[in-house]
Amino acid sequence: MRHITLLFLAGILLSFCSCRSDFETVASTGDLTFSKDTVYLDTVFTNLSSSTYTLKVYNHSKNDINIPTIKFNKGLNSKYRMSVDGAQGNQGKLFENVTLLAKDSLYIFIETTVETDNATPTEFLYTDQIEFDGGANLQKVELVTLVQDAILLYPNRNADGTTETLPIGNEKKNGFYLDKNDPIHGNELHFTNKKAYVIYGYAAVPEGETVTFDPGARVYFHANSGLIVSKKASIHINGSTSVTDKLENEVIFSSDRQQPDFAYVPGQWGTIWLQEGSVNNTIQNLTLKNATVGLLIEGNDGATVSIKNTQVYNCTHYGIQAKNGLIKGENIVINYTGEASLACTYGGNYKFTHCTFNNNWSSPGQVAVFISNYSTAATPETKDLTQATFNNCIIYGSYSNELFLSKKTGATFEYQFNNCLIKSNNTKDPLYQFDTDPVHYNTITLNKDPKFFNPNINNFNIDNTSSAFAKGNSTYLIPLDILGNTRTLPPDLGAYQNKPFPK
C-alpha cells in the first residue's frame, strides 16, 4: 500500500511538471539590480583579447521575468562581446527574451579585443554600455577599457607550420632571437618608452649583441615567456629616478595580465636569464614583478653584473637566483618569493650594500637570503664562494630564520655581514655567531622589527621609529637611496632613507 501511495504522488508531481513546459513569466519592469554599475576591463593591449570579466544580474522580485533584450549600445559594431549564462546570442552582442527566475540571478561574461584607433584619442579609453530592456524600462551598465598601444614580439612560424623554438637548458621552448634589423619593428634590441612591448615566448639576445631599455620602458610578458641574454651578449637596463608615483622613468617588467586581481600573483611568466658567458650587464631602476624567477644569473666569467635601485616582487621561486655569479648590488629590494628572495648558490662573488631582502611568503620554508658554495646538479659539485659581503642591509621576513648559510667542504666559503639587521634564531650554529665572530659579523641588529610601512603591498619605507634607523656605517654609504633621496649620517639600514609615514 505504501508503494502504491508513493507511485501515486510521483505521478501527480510528474503530471504537474509536464504541464509547465515553459515558465510563466511577466515582462521586465526595469527593477533589475547589478553586482556593478560599471565594469572596468582594466588595461588591454591593442589587438589582444582581454581577460574575462563578470557581471551578475539579480531579479529580487517574486515573479519570473522576461527580459526582451540584452545588448550593447553600439550594437553589433561593439568591440565588446558577452555570453549570458553560457549562451552566445547573436555574435555575442544581442540576446532576446532572456528568462530570469524569481529571486534568482544570471551571469554575464564580458571580453573585448580593441585597437587604439577605437579609443578616445586623448584618454585612450574605449567605452560602451550593456542595455537591458528598452523604453521606460531601460537599464544600463557602463563598460570602460583602457587601451594601450603595444609592440608584439613573438616566435615566427616555420615553413612546416611549426613555431620557432630556442634551446633552453635541455629542452626547446617557443622562442626567437631579437633582430636589430627587423622589417616590421626595426631595431628589436632597443626598447623605447614610446609604446609598451608584449613578449610571447622567450626573446633572446644574439651572441655579441646588446639589448637596451630606455627610461620608462614597459615590457609585459605572456605566460611561459621571458628574456635570455646569451653568451657574449649584454643587457643594459637604463631606468632613472622618477619624480611621481607613476614611476615614469622606471623600467618595468611584468605580466601581461593587467587586471588588479593579478597584481600580486607570482609565476605569471618565466625569467630574465643572464646565461653563462654574458658580459657587461647593467641593471638600474628596474621594477620586476610576478615572474617564476626574477633574475637568473649564471657564472659571468669575471664580468660583474651591476644591479642598482632595483625592486623584485612576487616570484614563485627566487627574486634573484645566482649560480656562481659575480654581482655588485646597491639599493635592491626583494620580497614575496616562494624559496628565497636572494639565492647566491654554487659559489661566486657578491657584494650588496644598502639592500632590503625581505620575504613574506606564507609558507615557513622560505628565507630572505640563501648562500651556498655547492650545487647538486653541477659538476664539480662545489665552487669557491670568494665573497658574500652585505653592508648596511636588512634581512627580514615572516619566518623565524631569514638567513640560511649552507657550506660544503671542498671549496671556500667567505661571507661577511657589516651593520645589518638580521632575523634569525640560529644562534647555536657556528655559522651564525652574530655577537662573537667579528670575522663574519660586525655590529648586527638581531631580531628587531624594522617596522616597514606595509610589506604586504611591497612598501618597505621606514620612519625614525624603525630599528633600522641610523644604524648604518658611513664607510659603506651609498649617498642616495632607491628613490633618489639623500641619506643622512649615520645612514639608515636598507634601501630606503627614513621619512614620516603618510597619515
Local confidence band at 13 (pLDDT 50, 70, 90 cut-offs): very low
Local confidence band at 159 (pLDDT 50, 70, 90 cut-offs): confident
Looking at residue 23, its pLDDT comes to: 54
Local confidence band at 10 (pLDDT 50, 70, 90 cut-offs): very low
Distances (CA, A) of 253 to 215, 237, 297, 313, 422: 12, 11, 16, 11, 29
Local confidence band at 503 (pLDDT 50, 70, 90 cut-offs): low
Q: Residues 167-190: pLDDT tens digits?
A: 877 788 889 999 999 998 999 999
Distance, in Å, from the CA atom of 385 to the CA atom of 411, rounded to the nearest integer, reads 7
Q: Residues 50-102: pLDDT tens digits?
A: 888 999 999 999 999 999 999 999 999 999 999 999 999 999 999 999 999 99
Distances (CA, A) of 377 to 28, 346, 409, 416, 445: 67, 10, 17, 26, 35
What would the mean pLDDT of 30-56 be, rounded to a whole number?
87
What would the mean pLDDT of 432-443 be, rounded to a whole number?
96
pLDDT at 7 over 50: no
Distance, in Å, from the CA atom of 37 to the CA atom of 34, rounded to the nearest integer, reads 7
Distance, in Å, from the CA atom of 303 to the CA atom of 433, rounded to the nearest integer, reads 33
Could you tell me the three cell numbers for 423?
Answer: 632575523
Distance, in Å, from the CA atom of 158 to the CA atom of 289, rounded to the nearest integer, reads 32
H or E element: which one contains 11? helix 2-19
Q: Residues 196-234: pLDDT tens digits?
A: 999 999 999 999 999 999 999 999 999 999 999 999 999
Rounded to a whole number of angstroms, the CA Rg of the chain reads 29
pLDDT at 8 over 70: no
Local confidence band at 300 (pLDDT 50, 70, 90 cut-offs): low
SS3 state at 228: strand
Distances (CA, A) of 486 to 211, 242, 310, 480, 496: 31, 15, 17, 5, 10
Looking at residue 5, its pLDDT comes to: 47
- Residue 378 vs residue 481, higher pLDDT: 481
Local confidence band at 1 (pLDDT 50, 70, 90 cut-offs): very low
What would the mean pLDDT of 145-162 be, rounded to a whole number?
84
Distance, in Å, from the CA atom of 371 to the CA atom of 242, rounded to the nearest integer, reads 33
SS3 state at 319: strand
Could you tell me the three cell numbers for 400?
Answer: 623565524
Looking at residue 261, its pLDDT comes to: 81
Percent helix, percent strand, percent coil in the chain, to nearest 5: 10, 45, 45
Distance, in Å, from the CA atom of 176 to the CA atom of 61, rounded to the nearest integer, reads 58
- Residue 42 vs residue 382, higher pLDDT: 382
Q: How far is CA 230 from the centre of its chain?
A: 24
